[in-house]
Amino acid sequence: MVARLVLVGALAGLVPTAVSGQVDPPIIAITEVQLAKDKQLRARRVSEDLGELQSDPSAPYRIGPSDILAVLVWDHPELSGVPAVLAGGATDSGPLPVAPPGFVVDHAGMLHFPYAGLVPVAGLTQEQAALALAAALARYVRDPRVGLSVQSYRSQRIYIDGQVKNPGVQPINDLPMTLIEAVNRAGGFLADADQSRVVLERGASLHVLDLRHLVESDVNPTRIMLRHGDLVHVLAREENKVFVSGEVPTPRALPMHSGRMSLSEALGEAGGISAATGDSRQVYVVRRGMAGPTVYQLDARAPGAMAVAEEFELDPKDVVYVAPTSLANWHRAVSLIFPSELSSAVGAAKP
């Protein structure tokens, strides 16, 4: 039987550890130097996102196609209050709906107005559009005084879904549409909303915002302005977990606390590293990114290693894996091939 055990050990040493042709990702040691690099990278990423998203909340509303404008020409009531769709007429289902009095900006951003003809108003503020219309009317009306306002905001909208009370479309009007304003209009966050993972999709760009971290960093989230076509998705806490597996007493999926969890906390909630089978030199964090997976390694036996683990922040969907010792691997391999012989050998070795 001893010869058979020796043969198993020899075979175990000959088994390749990786598939031929497979390229393993580089392993990055978790050290104080790496922690400093990660913090700089996170701060730079947040700064770049905020620089693109922040703008002046006092900027005026700009008119767009499909907006309905209310126009008043002083001393010329015949030019004011023309309906966008003339009343009257009927269909099989009843009378045609009557639109509110006003002037619709067409798909090309032009305002059709009596005598003035086509006036380009898309992209203009209300004051600028009033001046443009007055200039067009000046050819027919002496010293025209024009009052203009947006009566119905229909050209710009954002979309909000996820863990808010009333998900759906929110029109952009004369009130600044900040991220906080959009959430409030949607009824606020639900109880299981994760305010640390608010995803803002703008065109081909994706921004993940941590509102609590912004407040703690003295960054006012009301300066994050939304634009036409933006999609805001509020994730649930259950969607942001880390996974602990390997040689720990209780492998499990752990929900993050307000979007945060350190490597030390994850190991602690899983019961720590197994004293009998876990290799404390091989604690891995596998993180999948756009360019592929990244693997971090912690040597928990090194001086100050647990202090470093406490500072190492995990990302949602990270996998924490504690590798077994070489003896544990050998024991399991032999147990699978010769379960009865190994048990007999262990029993015979006991005094």
Which domains are delineated in the chain? 52-58+156-238 (3.10.560.10), 68-83+101-152 (3.30.1950.10), 240-326 (3.10.560.10)
Task: Give the bridge partners for 298, in sequence order.
Answer: 283
Contact predicate 273/298, CB 8 Å? no
134-171, pLDDT tens digit by residue? 999 999 888 999 999 999 999 999 999 999 999 999 99
- Round to whole Å and give the CA distance between 221 and 183: 12
Contact predicate 193/74, CB 8 Å? no
| Mean pLDDT, rounded, for 277-293 | 89
Contact predicate 99/84, CB 8 Å? yes
Count of CB atoms situated within 10 Å of the CB of 296: 21
**Average pLDDT score over the chain:** 82
109-127, pLDDT tens digit by residue? 999 998 899 999 999 999 9
Contact predicate 240/197, CB 8 Å? yes
What burial class does residue 281 get, using C-beta atoms within 10 Å of its C-beta: 0-12 exposed, 13-18 middle, 19+ buried? Answer: middle
This prediction's pTM: 0.69
Count of CB atoms situated within 10 Å of the CB of 174: 11
- The percent of residues above 70 in pLDDT, for the chain, comes to 82
- Residue 253, classed as helix, strand or coil, is strand
3-state secondary structure 3-57: HHHHHHHHHHHHCCCCCCCCCCCCEEECCHHHHHHHHHHHHHHHHHHHHHHECCC
- Round to whole Å and give the CA distance between 176 and 172: 8
Assigned token pair, 134: 């007055």
What is the DSSP-derived secondary structure letter of residue 159? E
- For residue 133, the Cα-to-chain-centroid distance in whole angstroms is 43
Nearest alpha carbon to residue 188 among 178, 196, 180: 180
What is the DSSP-derived secondary structure letter of residue 230? -
- Residue 329, classed as helix, strand or coil, is helix
15-66, pLDDT tens digit by residue? 344 444 556 778 999 999 988 888 888 777 766 667 678 777 778 899 999 9
Residue located via tokens 């906390």: 265
Assigned token pair, 34: 């790496």
Task: Give the bridge partners for 256, in sequence order.
Answer: none
214-242, pLDDT tens digit by residue? 877 777 888 889 999 999 999 998 888 99
Contact predicate 104/63, CB 8 Å? no
